[in-house]
Amino acid sequence: MKTAPLLLLSLWLLASAAWAGSIVTTKHNLSVNGAGTVKAVTESEICIFCHTPHNGSREAPLWNRFSSGQTYVPYSSSTAKAHPGQPTGDSKLCLSCHDGTVALGMVRNRPAAIQIQGGLTTLPSGATRLGTDLADDHPVSFVFDAALMAADGQLQNPATLTGAVRLDASKQLQCTSCHDSHDNQFGKFLAVNNTASALCTTCHNRTYWSASLHKTSTKTWNGAGTNPWPHTSLTTVQANGCENCHRPHSAGNKPRLLNFAGEEPNCYSCHNGNVAAKNIQAEFAKTSVHSVAATTGVHDPTEDAVNPPRHVECADCHNPHAAKAQTATVPAASGDLAGVKGVSSAGTVVNPLVNQYELCFRCHGDSTNRGPARIARQVVQTNSRLDFQSANASYHPVLATGKNPNGPSLIAPWTTASRMYCTDCHNNNQGPGAGGTGPKGPHGSAYVPLLERRMELTDNQTESAAIYALCYKCHSRTSILANQSFPFHNLHAVGGDVNCLSCHDPHGVSGKTHLINFNTAYATPASNGQLRFVDLGTRSGFCDVMCHGKNHTGSTNPDFRY
Protein backbone atom coordinates (compact mmCIF):
# COMPACT_ATOMS: atom_id res chain seq x y z
CA MET A 1 0.00 0.00 0.00
CA LYS A 2 3.02 2.26 0.06
CA THR A 3 2.52 2.97 -3.62
CA ALA A 4 -0.46 5.31 -2.98
CA PRO A 5 1.52 8.08 -1.20
CA LEU A 6 4.21 7.81 -3.85
CA LEU A 7 1.62 8.12 -6.60
CA LEU A 8 0.05 11.16 -4.92
CA LEU A 9 3.47 12.75 -4.51
CA SER A 10 4.28 12.13 -8.16
CA LEU A 11 0.97 13.65 -9.27
CA TRP A 12 1.56 16.68 -7.03
CA LEU A 13 5.03 17.22 -8.49
CA LEU A 14 3.69 16.91 -12.03
CA ALA A 15 0.95 19.39 -11.25
CA SER A 16 3.44 21.82 -9.71
CA ALA A 17 5.67 21.59 -12.76
CA ALA A 18 2.68 22.20 -15.05
CA TRP A 19 1.51 25.16 -13.00
CA ALA A 20 4.93 26.79 -13.35
CA GLY A 21 3.99 27.53 -16.98
CA SER A 22 0.23 27.67 -16.63
CA ILE A 23 -2.46 30.24 -15.96
CA VAL A 24 -2.41 29.48 -12.22
CA THR A 25 0.66 31.63 -11.57
CA THR A 26 -0.25 34.43 -13.99
CA LYS A 27 -2.33 37.60 -13.97
CA HIS A 28 -4.99 35.76 -15.95
CA ASN A 29 -5.81 33.89 -12.77
CA LEU A 30 -8.51 36.29 -11.54
CA SER A 31 -9.56 34.09 -8.63
CA VAL A 32 -9.16 35.26 -5.06
CA ASN A 33 -5.81 33.42 -5.03
CA GLY A 34 -4.59 35.04 -8.25
CA ALA A 35 -1.06 36.28 -8.75
CA GLY A 36 -1.95 39.77 -9.97
CA THR A 37 -3.53 42.83 -8.40
CA VAL A 38 -6.82 42.34 -10.26
CA LYS A 39 -8.63 39.44 -8.59
CA ALA A 40 -11.94 38.36 -7.14
CA VAL A 41 -13.21 39.06 -3.66
CA THR A 42 -14.19 35.47 -2.88
CA GLU A 43 -14.35 33.43 -6.10
CA SER A 44 -11.84 30.59 -5.93
CA GLU A 45 -12.43 29.00 -9.33
CA ILE A 46 -9.77 29.91 -11.90
CA CYS A 47 -11.08 28.91 -15.30
CA ILE A 48 -14.57 30.30 -14.72
CA PHE A 49 -13.62 33.80 -15.86
CA CYS A 50 -13.29 32.49 -19.42
CA HIS A 51 -14.70 28.96 -19.55
CA THR A 52 -17.71 26.95 -18.37
CA PRO A 53 -18.41 23.22 -18.67
CA HIS A 54 -22.04 23.84 -19.62
CA ASN A 55 -24.03 26.36 -21.64
CA GLY A 56 -21.03 28.18 -23.02
CA SER A 57 -21.18 30.68 -25.86
CA ARG A 58 -21.21 29.29 -29.37
CA GLU A 59 -18.37 31.65 -30.26
CA ALA A 60 -15.79 29.27 -28.86
CA PRO A 61 -15.64 25.99 -26.99
CA LEU A 62 -17.00 26.40 -23.48
CA TRP A 63 -16.68 30.22 -23.60
CA ASN A 64 -18.17 31.81 -20.50
CA ARG A 65 -18.03 35.50 -21.30
CA PHE A 66 -20.37 37.92 -23.02
CA SER A 67 -19.25 39.74 -26.14
CA SER A 68 -19.00 43.48 -25.74
CA GLY A 69 -20.92 44.10 -28.97
CA GLN A 70 -18.69 47.08 -29.70
CA THR A 71 -17.77 48.40 -33.13
CA TYR A 72 -14.01 48.75 -33.36
CA VAL A 73 -11.72 51.02 -35.34
CA PRO A 74 -9.38 48.58 -37.12
CA TYR A 75 -5.72 49.11 -37.95
CA SER A 76 -4.91 50.65 -41.32
CA SER A 77 -1.95 52.18 -43.13
CA SER A 78 -0.93 53.18 -46.64
CA THR A 79 1.53 50.30 -46.86
CA ALA A 80 -0.63 47.51 -45.43
CA LYS A 81 -1.65 44.84 -47.91
CA ALA A 82 -4.00 43.22 -45.40
CA HIS A 83 -7.13 45.18 -44.55
CA PRO A 84 -8.65 43.85 -41.33
CA GLY A 85 -12.26 44.57 -40.49
CA GLN A 86 -14.07 43.88 -37.23
CA PRO A 87 -12.38 41.39 -34.87
CA THR A 88 -13.36 37.76 -35.28
CA GLY A 89 -12.58 34.45 -33.60
CA ASP A 90 -10.23 34.42 -30.63
CA SER A 91 -9.47 38.14 -30.99
CA LYS A 92 -13.10 38.98 -30.36
CA LEU A 93 -13.02 36.80 -27.25
CA CYS A 94 -9.86 38.48 -25.93
CA LEU A 95 -11.49 41.87 -26.37
CA SER A 96 -14.38 40.88 -24.10
CA CYS A 97 -11.94 41.79 -21.31
CA HIS A 98 -9.27 43.85 -23.03
CA ASP A 99 -11.46 46.50 -24.66
CA GLY A 100 -12.46 47.59 -21.14
CA THR A 101 -16.21 47.75 -21.79
CA VAL A 102 -17.44 44.50 -20.18
CA ALA A 103 -17.20 43.81 -16.45
CA LEU A 104 -14.47 41.30 -15.64
CA GLY A 105 -16.84 39.29 -13.45
CA MET A 106 -19.70 39.25 -15.95
CA VAL A 107 -19.82 35.54 -16.84
CA ARG A 108 -22.59 33.37 -18.25
CA ASN A 109 -22.80 30.71 -15.55
CA ARG A 110 -23.23 33.01 -12.58
CA PRO A 111 -26.53 34.74 -11.81
CA ALA A 112 -24.65 37.84 -10.74
CA ALA A 113 -21.30 39.30 -11.67
CA ILE A 114 -18.31 38.03 -9.71
CA GLN A 115 -17.08 40.83 -7.48
CA ILE A 116 -13.53 42.10 -8.01
CA GLN A 117 -11.44 43.50 -5.18
CA GLY A 118 -11.33 47.25 -4.73
CA GLY A 119 -14.74 47.69 -6.36
CA LEU A 120 -13.13 47.25 -9.77
CA THR A 121 -15.45 46.34 -12.62
CA THR A 122 -13.74 46.58 -16.01
CA LEU A 123 -10.05 46.19 -16.79
CA PRO A 124 -8.26 49.22 -15.32
CA SER A 125 -6.54 51.79 -17.53
CA GLY A 126 -3.11 50.82 -18.72
CA ALA A 127 -1.24 49.10 -21.51
CA THR A 128 -3.51 46.03 -21.48
CA ARG A 129 -6.75 47.99 -21.84
CA LEU A 130 -6.87 48.41 -25.60
CA GLY A 131 -10.20 50.20 -25.89
CA THR A 132 -12.26 50.07 -29.05
CA ASP A 133 -9.75 51.98 -31.20
CA LEU A 134 -7.49 49.23 -32.51
CA ALA A 135 -5.78 51.47 -35.06
CA ASP A 136 -2.80 51.72 -32.69
CA ASP A 137 -2.53 47.94 -32.30
CA HIS A 138 -1.04 45.22 -34.47
CA PRO A 139 -3.75 44.17 -36.95
CA VAL A 140 -5.74 41.00 -36.27
CA SER A 141 -8.52 39.00 -37.90
CA PHE A 142 -7.19 38.97 -41.46
CA VAL A 143 -6.38 36.03 -43.70
CA PHE A 144 -2.65 35.39 -43.88
CA ASP A 145 -2.13 33.29 -46.99
CA ALA A 146 0.20 32.94 -49.95
CA ALA A 147 -1.59 35.75 -51.79
CA LEU A 148 -0.93 38.18 -48.95
CA MET A 149 2.69 37.05 -48.72
CA ALA A 150 3.14 37.73 -52.44
CA ALA A 151 1.38 41.11 -52.30
CA ASP A 152 3.36 42.33 -49.28
CA GLY A 153 6.75 40.96 -50.31
CA GLN A 154 8.17 41.10 -46.78
CA LEU A 155 6.32 38.31 -44.96
CA GLN A 156 7.33 34.76 -44.12
CA ASN A 157 5.54 31.85 -45.73
CA PRO A 158 2.31 31.30 -43.75
CA ALA A 159 2.71 27.56 -44.28
CA THR A 160 5.53 27.67 -41.72
CA LEU A 161 3.25 28.96 -38.95
CA THR A 162 2.58 25.61 -37.37
CA GLY A 163 4.38 25.98 -34.05
CA ALA A 164 3.62 28.15 -31.07
CA VAL A 165 2.99 31.04 -33.45
CA ARG A 166 0.11 29.92 -35.63
CA LEU A 167 -3.00 30.98 -37.49
CA ASP A 168 -6.52 29.96 -36.50
CA ALA A 169 -8.64 27.37 -38.29
CA SER A 170 -9.73 30.02 -40.83
CA LYS A 171 -6.09 30.87 -41.61
CA GLN A 172 -6.54 34.23 -39.90
CA LEU A 173 -3.98 35.91 -37.70
CA GLN A 174 -5.50 36.52 -34.27
CA CYS A 175 -4.38 37.68 -30.84
CA THR A 176 -3.65 34.02 -30.09
CA SER A 177 -1.10 33.92 -32.91
CA CYS A 178 1.25 35.93 -30.71
CA HIS A 179 -0.17 35.36 -27.23
CA ASP A 180 -0.82 32.22 -25.19
CA SER A 181 -3.37 33.25 -22.59
CA HIS A 182 -2.57 30.27 -20.34
CA ASP A 183 1.22 30.59 -20.25
CA ASN A 184 3.24 33.65 -19.28
CA GLN A 185 6.72 32.14 -19.19
CA PHE A 186 8.01 34.67 -21.75
CA GLY A 187 6.19 37.70 -20.32
CA LYS A 188 3.14 39.47 -21.76
CA PHE A 189 1.71 36.02 -22.46
CA LEU A 190 3.84 35.82 -25.60
CA ALA A 191 3.77 32.57 -27.51
CA VAL A 192 7.57 32.57 -27.87
CA ASN A 193 10.47 34.52 -26.43
CA ASN A 194 10.69 37.82 -28.35
CA THR A 195 14.31 38.60 -27.55
CA ALA A 196 15.89 39.98 -30.75
CA SER A 197 12.34 40.08 -32.17
CA ALA A 198 12.18 36.31 -32.63
CA LEU A 199 8.38 36.50 -32.41
CA CYS A 200 8.12 39.37 -34.89
CA THR A 201 10.37 37.72 -37.45
CA THR A 202 8.30 34.54 -37.35
CA CYS A 203 5.90 36.43 -39.63
CA HIS A 204 7.86 39.47 -40.81
CA ASN A 205 10.75 39.12 -43.24
CA ARG A 206 11.91 42.71 -43.64
CA THR A 207 14.22 43.37 -46.58
CA TYR A 208 17.78 44.23 -45.44
CA TRP A 209 16.99 43.50 -41.76
CA SER A 210 19.52 40.71 -41.27
CA ALA A 211 22.50 43.05 -41.82
CA SER A 212 21.10 46.21 -40.24
CA LEU A 213 22.59 47.84 -37.16
CA HIS A 214 19.22 47.82 -35.42
CA LYS A 215 19.38 44.03 -35.53
CA THR A 216 23.07 43.55 -34.72
CA SER A 217 24.13 46.41 -32.42
CA THR A 218 24.96 45.49 -28.82
CA LYS A 219 24.75 49.10 -27.63
CA THR A 220 23.16 49.65 -24.23
CA TRP A 221 21.49 52.63 -22.56
CA ASN A 222 23.92 54.63 -20.41
CA GLY A 223 21.21 55.48 -17.87
CA ALA A 224 21.05 59.20 -18.71
CA GLY A 225 17.84 60.91 -19.77
CA THR A 226 14.73 58.91 -20.62
CA ASN A 227 14.70 55.13 -20.87
CA PRO A 228 14.62 54.37 -24.61
CA TRP A 229 12.85 51.05 -24.03
CA PRO A 230 10.14 51.76 -21.42
CA HIS A 231 7.85 48.95 -22.54
CA THR A 232 10.42 46.15 -22.56
CA SER A 233 12.84 44.66 -20.03
CA LEU A 234 15.55 44.11 -22.64
CA THR A 235 18.78 46.09 -22.44
CA THR A 236 20.47 46.22 -25.85
CA VAL A 237 19.56 47.43 -29.31
CA GLN A 238 20.00 43.90 -30.62
CA ALA A 239 17.74 42.37 -27.97
CA ASN A 240 15.00 44.94 -28.49
CA GLY A 241 15.08 44.57 -32.27
CA CYS A 242 11.81 45.82 -33.73
CA GLU A 243 10.78 47.26 -30.37
CA ASN A 244 13.55 49.84 -30.51
CA CYS A 245 11.06 51.76 -32.62
CA HIS A 246 7.78 49.84 -32.70
CA ARG A 247 5.13 49.03 -30.13
CA PRO A 248 2.57 46.34 -31.03
CA HIS A 249 -0.15 47.71 -28.74
CA SER A 250 -1.17 51.29 -27.87
CA ALA A 251 1.46 52.70 -30.21
CA GLY A 252 2.06 56.42 -30.31
CA ASN A 253 2.05 56.52 -34.10
CA LYS A 254 -0.83 54.44 -35.43
CA PRO A 255 -0.03 53.66 -39.11
CA ARG A 256 3.57 52.61 -38.39
CA LEU A 257 2.98 51.36 -34.80
CA LEU A 258 5.87 53.54 -33.63
CA ASN A 259 6.56 54.24 -29.98
CA PHE A 260 5.92 57.97 -30.34
CA ALA A 261 3.46 59.97 -32.42
CA GLY A 262 6.06 62.33 -33.90
CA GLU A 263 8.65 60.85 -36.21
CA GLU A 264 11.80 62.29 -34.62
CA PRO A 265 11.32 61.13 -30.98
CA ASN A 266 11.43 57.53 -32.19
CA CYS A 267 14.96 58.20 -33.46
CA TYR A 268 16.05 60.59 -30.72
CA SER A 269 15.32 58.07 -27.95
CA CYS A 270 18.58 56.33 -28.94
CA HIS A 271 20.33 58.87 -31.16
CA ASN A 272 20.71 61.45 -28.41
CA GLY A 273 24.09 60.17 -27.26
CA ASN A 274 22.65 57.91 -24.57
CA VAL A 275 22.59 54.72 -26.65
CA ALA A 276 24.22 55.48 -30.00
CA ALA A 277 27.69 56.96 -29.63
CA LYS A 278 26.88 60.22 -31.44
CA ASN A 279 24.25 62.77 -30.42
CA ILE A 280 22.30 63.40 -33.61
CA GLN A 281 19.46 65.17 -31.79
CA ALA A 282 21.73 68.03 -30.75
CA GLU A 283 22.65 68.72 -34.36
CA PHE A 284 19.11 69.88 -35.14
CA ALA A 285 19.48 72.80 -32.72
CA LYS A 286 22.15 74.44 -34.88
CA THR A 287 21.77 77.51 -37.08
CA SER A 288 21.34 75.59 -40.33
CA VAL A 289 19.56 72.23 -40.31
CA HIS A 290 17.56 69.77 -42.29
CA SER A 291 14.32 70.88 -40.67
CA VAL A 292 12.89 67.56 -39.49
CA ALA A 293 10.80 69.34 -36.84
CA ALA A 294 8.99 71.53 -39.39
CA THR A 295 6.48 68.86 -40.40
CA THR A 296 4.74 65.95 -38.71
CA GLY A 297 2.86 63.12 -40.38
CA VAL A 298 3.74 64.25 -43.92
CA HIS A 299 6.26 61.54 -44.78
CA ASP A 300 4.80 58.35 -46.20
CA PRO A 301 6.69 55.37 -47.64
CA THR A 302 4.41 55.40 -50.68
CA GLU A 303 4.92 59.08 -51.53
CA ASP A 304 6.13 60.28 -54.91
CA ALA A 305 9.91 60.21 -54.63
CA VAL A 306 10.39 62.66 -57.51
CA ASN A 307 8.03 65.40 -56.46
CA PRO A 308 6.47 64.91 -53.03
CA PRO A 309 5.23 67.77 -50.84
CA ARG A 310 8.69 69.02 -49.93
CA HIS A 311 9.63 67.98 -46.40
CA VAL A 312 12.36 66.13 -44.58
CA GLU A 313 12.07 63.50 -41.87
CA CYS A 314 14.70 61.08 -40.59
CA ALA A 315 13.06 58.29 -42.60
CA ASP A 316 13.39 60.26 -45.84
CA CYS A 317 17.15 59.78 -45.67
CA HIS A 318 17.56 56.66 -43.53
CA ASN A 319 15.85 53.28 -43.67
CA PRO A 320 15.91 52.00 -40.07
CA HIS A 321 15.46 48.41 -41.27
CA ALA A 322 18.50 48.66 -43.54
CA ALA A 323 21.02 51.18 -42.16
CA LYS A 324 24.39 49.57 -41.50
CA ALA A 325 28.03 50.42 -40.86
CA GLN A 326 29.47 50.23 -44.35
CA THR A 327 31.87 52.67 -45.94
CA ALA A 328 31.81 53.55 -49.63
CA THR A 329 33.87 55.20 -52.33
CA VAL A 330 32.56 58.24 -54.17
CA PRO A 331 29.98 58.42 -55.68
CA ALA A 332 28.48 55.31 -54.02
CA ALA A 333 26.22 55.69 -50.99
CA SER A 334 27.47 54.44 -47.63
CA GLY A 335 25.63 51.96 -45.43
CA ASP A 336 23.72 54.58 -43.47
CA LEU A 337 21.73 55.30 -46.67
CA ALA A 338 21.05 51.64 -47.47
CA GLY A 339 17.57 50.72 -48.65
CA VAL A 340 16.44 54.30 -49.36
CA LYS A 341 14.76 55.60 -52.51
CA GLY A 342 16.57 58.13 -54.65
CA VAL A 343 16.29 60.09 -57.88
CA SER A 344 18.81 59.50 -60.65
CA SER A 345 20.73 62.17 -62.54
CA ALA A 346 18.08 61.74 -65.26
CA GLY A 347 15.23 62.44 -62.83
CA THR A 348 13.90 58.88 -62.49
CA VAL A 349 13.23 56.97 -59.27
CA VAL A 350 15.98 54.61 -58.12
CA ASN A 351 14.92 52.09 -55.46
CA PRO A 352 17.14 51.49 -53.67
CA LEU A 353 19.53 54.29 -54.46
CA VAL A 354 23.09 53.48 -55.46
CA ASN A 355 24.86 56.85 -55.29
CA GLN A 356 24.73 59.43 -52.54
CA TYR A 357 23.65 62.28 -54.81
CA GLU A 358 20.50 60.33 -55.72
CA LEU A 359 19.24 60.92 -52.19
CA CYS A 360 19.93 64.66 -52.37
CA PHE A 361 18.09 64.94 -55.69
CA ARG A 362 14.87 63.73 -54.07
CA CYS A 363 14.35 67.18 -52.54
CA HIS A 364 16.99 69.37 -54.17
CA GLY A 365 16.07 68.30 -57.68
CA ASP A 366 12.67 68.47 -59.31
CA SER A 367 10.51 69.34 -56.29
CA THR A 368 8.18 72.13 -57.37
CA ASN A 369 8.30 74.02 -54.06
CA ARG A 370 12.06 74.39 -53.82
CA GLY A 371 11.94 78.07 -52.94
CA PRO A 372 14.04 80.97 -54.27
CA ALA A 373 17.78 80.87 -54.84
CA ARG A 374 19.86 81.92 -51.85
CA ILE A 375 22.03 84.15 -54.06
CA ALA A 376 20.62 86.18 -56.97
CA ARG A 377 22.34 84.88 -60.08
CA GLN A 378 22.62 85.93 -63.69
CA VAL A 379 21.64 82.39 -64.66
CA VAL A 380 18.95 81.29 -62.20
CA GLN A 381 18.75 77.57 -61.47
CA THR A 382 17.41 76.10 -58.22
CA ASN A 383 17.31 72.50 -59.44
CA SER A 384 20.56 70.99 -58.21
CA ARG A 385 20.11 67.92 -60.37
CA LEU A 386 20.39 70.16 -63.43
CA ASP A 387 23.29 72.15 -61.93
CA PHE A 388 25.54 69.09 -61.91
CA GLN A 389 24.76 67.72 -65.37
CA SER A 390 27.86 66.73 -67.30
CA ALA A 391 26.50 68.57 -70.36
CA ASN A 392 26.98 71.88 -68.51
CA ALA A 393 29.98 74.00 -69.32
CA SER A 394 31.18 73.74 -65.72
CA TYR A 395 30.23 72.00 -62.48
CA HIS A 396 31.73 70.61 -59.32
CA PRO A 397 32.44 66.92 -60.09
CA VAL A 398 29.51 65.20 -58.36
CA LEU A 399 28.02 63.39 -61.38
CA ALA A 400 31.17 63.30 -63.48
CA THR A 401 34.78 64.43 -63.41
CA GLY A 402 35.24 68.12 -64.13
CA LYS A 403 35.83 69.68 -67.51
CA ASN A 404 38.74 71.95 -66.61
CA PRO A 405 42.03 70.05 -67.06
CA ASN A 406 43.97 72.86 -65.36
CA GLY A 407 43.58 73.10 -61.60
CA PRO A 408 46.78 74.46 -60.04
CA SER A 409 45.01 75.36 -56.78
CA LEU A 410 43.78 71.83 -55.98
CA ILE A 411 45.13 70.38 -52.74
CA ALA A 412 46.17 66.70 -52.77
CA PRO A 413 44.61 64.19 -52.93
CA TRP A 414 42.23 66.23 -55.12
CA THR A 415 43.02 66.26 -58.82
CA THR A 416 41.16 67.27 -61.96
CA ALA A 417 40.14 63.59 -62.27
CA SER A 418 38.48 63.47 -58.83
CA ARG A 419 34.83 62.95 -58.04
CA MET A 420 33.17 64.35 -54.92
CA TYR A 421 30.19 63.86 -52.63
CA CYS A 422 27.56 66.48 -51.85
CA THR A 423 28.64 65.95 -48.23
CA ASP A 424 32.16 67.13 -49.01
CA CYS A 425 30.64 70.61 -48.75
CA HIS A 426 27.32 70.10 -46.94
CA ASN A 427 28.02 68.44 -43.62
CA ASN A 428 28.35 68.88 -39.87
CA ASN A 429 30.75 71.70 -38.99
CA GLN A 430 31.91 69.60 -36.01
CA GLY A 431 32.09 66.27 -37.83
CA PRO A 432 35.13 64.29 -38.97
CA GLY A 433 35.25 66.08 -42.33
CA ALA A 434 35.87 69.33 -40.47
CA GLY A 435 38.37 67.72 -38.13
CA GLY A 436 35.88 67.30 -35.29
CA THR A 437 34.48 64.39 -33.31
CA GLY A 438 30.77 65.02 -33.90
CA PRO A 439 28.49 62.89 -36.07
CA LYS A 440 28.95 62.95 -39.81
CA GLY A 441 26.19 63.96 -42.20
CA PRO A 442 24.18 67.08 -43.06
CA HIS A 443 21.91 67.06 -40.04
CA GLY A 444 22.96 70.47 -38.77
CA SER A 445 25.73 73.03 -39.07
CA ALA A 446 26.70 76.40 -37.68
CA TYR A 447 27.17 77.61 -41.26
CA VAL A 448 24.39 78.33 -43.76
CA PRO A 449 23.47 76.47 -45.92
CA LEU A 450 24.46 73.35 -43.98
CA LEU A 451 28.10 73.88 -44.85
CA GLU A 452 30.86 71.85 -43.29
CA ARG A 453 33.08 74.92 -42.97
CA ARG A 454 32.57 78.65 -42.94
CA MET A 455 31.83 80.30 -46.26
CA GLU A 456 30.63 83.90 -46.17
CA LEU A 457 28.01 84.67 -48.79
CA THR A 458 28.40 88.44 -49.12
CA ASP A 459 31.03 90.93 -50.28
CA ASN A 460 32.88 93.65 -48.37
CA GLN A 461 34.53 91.34 -45.86
CA THR A 462 38.27 91.15 -45.34
CA GLU A 463 39.65 88.02 -46.96
CA SER A 464 40.99 85.37 -44.57
CA ALA A 465 41.48 81.64 -44.31
CA ALA A 466 38.60 81.56 -41.84
CA ILE A 467 35.83 83.24 -43.82
CA TYR A 468 36.46 81.16 -46.95
CA ALA A 469 37.42 77.95 -45.12
CA LEU A 470 35.10 75.80 -47.22
CA CYS A 471 36.72 76.80 -50.53
CA TYR A 472 40.17 76.56 -48.99
CA LYS A 473 39.47 72.98 -47.89
CA CYS A 474 40.17 71.86 -51.47
CA HIS A 475 41.69 74.93 -53.12
CA SER A 476 45.03 76.21 -51.85
CA ARG A 477 44.70 79.70 -50.45
CA THR A 478 48.38 80.28 -51.26
CA SER A 479 47.80 79.34 -54.89
CA ILE A 480 44.66 81.45 -55.19
CA LEU A 481 46.24 84.57 -53.73
CA ALA A 482 49.36 84.00 -55.86
CA ASN A 483 47.08 84.28 -58.93
CA GLN A 484 48.07 80.85 -60.26
CA SER A 485 44.58 80.19 -61.62
CA PHE A 486 43.42 83.72 -62.48
CA PRO A 487 45.69 86.77 -62.55
CA PHE A 488 43.28 88.97 -60.61
CA HIS A 489 42.23 86.64 -57.80
CA ASN A 490 44.33 88.50 -55.25
CA LEU A 491 43.11 91.88 -56.48
CA HIS A 492 39.48 90.84 -56.14
CA ALA A 493 39.74 88.90 -52.87
CA VAL A 494 42.28 90.99 -50.97
CA GLY A 495 42.17 94.33 -52.71
CA GLY A 496 38.45 94.47 -53.39
CA ASP A 497 36.86 92.33 -50.67
CA VAL A 498 34.98 90.38 -53.36
CA ASN A 499 33.47 87.10 -52.21
CA CYS A 500 34.25 83.85 -54.05
CA LEU A 501 30.50 83.38 -54.59
CA SER A 502 30.06 86.75 -56.24
CA CYS A 503 31.66 85.34 -59.37
CA HIS A 504 31.42 81.56 -58.90
CA ASP A 505 28.30 79.41 -58.65
CA PRO A 506 29.59 76.30 -56.82
CA HIS A 507 27.14 73.66 -58.04
CA GLY A 508 27.40 74.25 -61.77
CA VAL A 509 26.34 76.51 -64.62
CA SER A 510 24.86 75.71 -67.99
CA GLY A 511 26.76 77.56 -70.72
CA LYS A 512 29.31 79.18 -68.38
CA THR A 513 32.85 77.88 -67.89
CA HIS A 514 34.83 78.09 -64.64
CA LEU A 515 31.58 78.21 -62.63
CA ILE A 516 31.18 81.90 -63.54
CA ASN A 517 27.65 83.04 -62.70
CA PHE A 518 27.59 86.58 -61.37
CA ASN A 519 25.82 87.57 -58.17
CA THR A 520 23.49 90.25 -59.54
CA ALA A 521 23.28 91.96 -56.17
CA TYR A 522 26.75 93.29 -56.96
CA ALA A 523 27.25 92.71 -60.71
CA THR A 524 25.20 94.57 -63.32
CA PRO A 525 25.71 95.19 -67.05
CA ALA A 526 28.76 97.22 -68.00
CA SER A 527 28.55 100.52 -69.83
CA ASN A 528 28.32 98.62 -73.12
CA GLY A 529 25.15 96.88 -71.90
CA GLN A 530 26.84 93.49 -71.49
CA LEU A 531 27.01 91.30 -68.38
CA ARG A 532 29.15 88.35 -69.28
CA PHE A 533 32.36 86.35 -68.92
CA VAL A 534 34.08 85.35 -72.15
CA ASP A 535 36.50 82.42 -71.95
CA LEU A 536 39.31 82.80 -74.49
CA GLY A 537 41.12 79.56 -73.66
CA THR A 538 43.65 78.38 -71.11
CA ARG A 539 43.57 80.95 -68.28
CA SER A 540 42.62 83.81 -70.55
CA GLY A 541 39.44 85.77 -71.05
CA PHE A 542 37.58 88.91 -70.02
CA CYS A 543 34.45 90.19 -68.33
CA ASP A 544 31.95 92.87 -69.27
CA VAL A 545 30.49 93.86 -65.92
CA MET A 546 29.72 96.81 -63.68
CA CYS A 547 30.77 95.68 -60.19
CA HIS A 548 30.67 97.87 -57.09
CA GLY A 549 30.54 100.91 -59.33
CA LYS A 550 33.58 99.89 -61.35
CA ASN A 551 33.08 99.45 -65.07
CA HIS A 552 34.88 96.48 -66.66
CA THR A 553 34.64 96.33 -70.45
CA GLY A 554 37.07 93.69 -71.55
CA SER A 555 35.43 93.41 -74.95
CA THR A 556 36.55 96.96 -75.84
CA ASN A 557 39.32 97.71 -73.35
CA PRO A 558 42.45 95.50 -73.48
CA ASP A 559 43.34 96.57 -69.94
CA PHE A 560 40.51 94.38 -68.66
CA ARG A 561 41.65 91.28 -70.52
CA TYR A 562 43.95 88.61 -69.20
pLDDT score for 21:
60
In order of 303, 341, 342, 353, 370, the CA distances from 349 in angstroms are 12, 7, 6, 8, 18
Q: Going from the first residue of the chain to its last (562 residues), give the mean pLDDT of each consecutive group of 10, the final group possibly shorter.
A: 38 38 92 96 97 88 92 97 96 97 96 96 96 98 98 97 97 98 96 98 96 97 95 97 97 96 95 97 98 91 83 95 97 98 97 98 91 94 97 98 94 98 98 97 98 96 97 98 95 94 97 96 96 93 94 91 90
- What would the 3-class secondary structure string for 80-121 be? CCCCCCCCCHHHHHHHHHHCCCCCCCCECCCCCCCCEHHHCC
Q: Which residues, including other chains, have CB under 8 Å from residue 145's CB and lie 6 or more apart?
A: 158, 171
Nearest C-alpha neighbor of 394 from the set 533, 513, 485, 534: 513
> 262 — phi, psi (to 5°)?
-75, 150
Other C-beta atoms lying within 10 Å of the C-beta of residue 547: 21
The pLDDT value recorded for residue 514 is: 96
In angstroms, the first-to-last Cα distance of the chain is 121
Torsion angles phi and psi, residue 202, rounded to 5: -65, -35
Question: What is the spatial distance between Cα 98 and Cα 361, in angstroms, rounded to a whole number?
Answer: 48
How far is it, in rounded angstroms, from Cα 233 to Cα 229?
A: 8
Burial class (CB in 10 A: 0-12, 13-18, 19+), 32: middle
Which helix H or strand E contains 152, and what residues bound it? helix 146-152
Q: For residue 73, what are the β-bridge partners?
A: 133
Element (H, E) at 537: strand 532-537
Query: 163 has which bridge partners?
Result: none
Give yes or no for a contact between 275 and 308, defined as CB atoms under 8 angstroms apart: no
* Stretch (H or E) spanning 9: helix 3-19
Q: What are phi and psi of 122, to 5 degrees?
A: -90, 170
Q: What is the pTM of this model?
A: 0.91
